[in-house]
Structure 1
Amino acid sequence: MKKVLIAVVLLLGIAGNAQEKMEGRRNLRENPLTKEQRQELHLKKMTLDLDLSTAQQKEIRTVLNEQSNKREVTLANRKEKQAENAKKLTADERFAIKNQMLDDQIAMKARMKKILSNEQFKKWETMKENKTDRMHDRLAMHKKRKASKTNTNK
């Protein structure tokens, strides 16, 4: 009897904790940060990780602002094209988009190389690679979970 009571208490505690996490995620989706807030947090994180000087912070702030504005325009154009026609992109269109994205990444890397010292730049690249790796891992996990759901529904 005692073991059953302990098991019930543990299950209730775990269920309550899981519910709190879901509410926190839902709150983030319902009340997203503004563009300026996201940029400020990103800049502060970079300042902590890379030990940026105030001059570097000012330069990176402008880079982040330009990058954010460009991203907003790109997303707006993509949504407009999707609404316009729901067809898939041709190989040439995909190539042009990917080519432009890589050109932007090259330009960003060159700008950061001018702003940061050699040591800071190496650390920034490592941070970027780690972020990309985590993103790929999450995407693979999501695809795996989605595939298992479709297999169980059949």
Structure 2
Amino acid sequence: MKKIIAFSVSLLSILSVSMLQSCSSTDDSNNLPKSQNVGINEVNLDKKWLTTFYAFTPSVSQASKTAYQLSSVEVDLNNGNYTMYDRYSEKKDKGTYSLDKNILTLVSTENQETLRLKIDKLTPNEIYLTAIGHKDLLSIELISIK
């Protein structure tokens, strides 16, 4: 009986070591490819986006911060027009957008507000934005959705 237990323990330890070796980080086949940046132009921007992260100014109120954190905003950019829909508050907005180099400007036709954003990084699936002159936001991250 002792020999069977000793054999089982030996076999388990050999299998464990071989499993750990096969999951070694020296093999690059299990790494995800890094997203490549794409050119900042209307063709690469025109799609549906979903907000995933906000960075706030120090002066943002707790109520506003909570509202942003709870929100999940869909932004659909299409041929110089945009629509926004906040899944949490169910508020909608629409308007036009323009692109000047890496500055994205959204002008609402609903309330005439303007939102200026600097595009820091654009990949096929993500966009990183810095808010310009916004009272609550410093930056926003979005992912593309279908």
TM-score for the superposition, normalised by structure 1: 0.27
TM-score for the superposition, normalised by structure 2: 0.28
Bigger share in helix: 1
